[in-house]
Structure 1
Amino acid sequence: MNGAASALALSLKVSLLATAIDLVLGVAVGYLLARTRFIGRDLLDSMLTLPMVMPPTVLGYYLLVLLGRHGAIGAWLRDSFGINLIFTWQGAVIAAAVVAFPLVFKPARAAFESIDQRVENAARVLGVSERALFFRVTLPLAWRGILAGVLLAFARAMGEFGATLMVAGSIPGRTQTLSIAVYEAVQAGQDDIANGLVLITSAVCIAVLLTAGRLAPGQAFRR
């Protein structure tokens, strides 16, 4: 059971950090695409949505190419800061964040696009700065859709398997998340441990999905 508790604690840490990263980046990019028009906007939207439909193992391979010792980002991190992300829990965070990103980005963009522009224009007429407008008007109006996306992203990060296994591996106590622990338990014939881990994962994901559905029913995947 110590291994199960360790896997659960690591999964929660990885999921929370990955979701926090996606919250910042997803809201920023969602707002950018909702409020600006430029050449290639639809292409960028499609590329950012790719992790939602692309096989996780393919994403894991791309991350290995980028973050590995000979990858463009991995080599720079190693030579400049002595950082290695492969087979670390930090690598698991990056993998989970990449996979779950569209689940924050898409709802955030939809939430921003649903806001009546006349409300924001009225605030501008009253002399509200663009920064204050975002935090005092736009964000409060969009928060339900954004929060629903954040909850979905957290649930997705909790269940992430393929990309995480390729990038972080399965090192008990270090990189073995809950979903990977289930796989290892099944492979080892430890059905009692696998059943317990599956029940924990299912309970967390169901609770998150029920909460997301109450916050913004039918809004999460609107384009």
Structure 2
Amino acid sequence: MKLPVTIHRARLGPVEFKVIRPARPLLDAVLVDHDSHLDAYLDQQAAKLFGGLWTLAASSPRSLIHLPMRGNPAPAHEPPEAGTRQLDLVLLHHSLQFAPSRWKDVRARLGPGRRQTVTLPAPVLTEDSLIHQESRHYRENRDLFHQHVHAETLFMTGSAKVFRDTARHFIDVARNGPGYVPVHPRYPRFVTELHSHAGVLGNAREIRVEYCDAWIR
């Protein structure tokens, strides 16, 4: 999988941060904070891009992966609700130990960046990854996501393994969402979840990922 990205660098004092963004605007994609959980609404292209960037986060432990999308049009079947807000998303490896409180300053220092194309392996659900899923339920497991919200941005912090193993959710939406919706008129929603029972969430809320092909313009 070839993924066009833009590489940005921002310096705060003696520390330089590397920020990776998709090279093209992330259009038909919305991340909604419902307080008790989060909803991601994605069209096919956005779901592919999410899967690619999720995979990139697994192999880029020294980078912040930024998906800017707050302010995008809402899905036609899910108009904005009172008490909800749209968020940007940042994916980062736990070893980076980045404080979300610094994000606003880092974001303000990002320049135009440098275009680059990275080549990624396609996420695959293998027998080994199924074994990893079972092992997640043991108390000593440390491959968990943790979340923080700051400056209208959701920070998803995790290990390389948990990013790699969960990228398949977005690939599943991209592959199966477009074909599912037309043949299920009574419930035209293709949904997958990063669920609390899946053993991938530590201090983190559930995320529903839903295919959507109609947006409020």
Question: Which protein shows a greater Rg?
Answer: 1
State the TM-score, normalized to the length of structure 2. 0.28
Q: Which has the higher strand share?
A: 2
Q: Which has the higher helix share?
A: 1
State the TM-score, normalized to the length of structure 1. 0.28
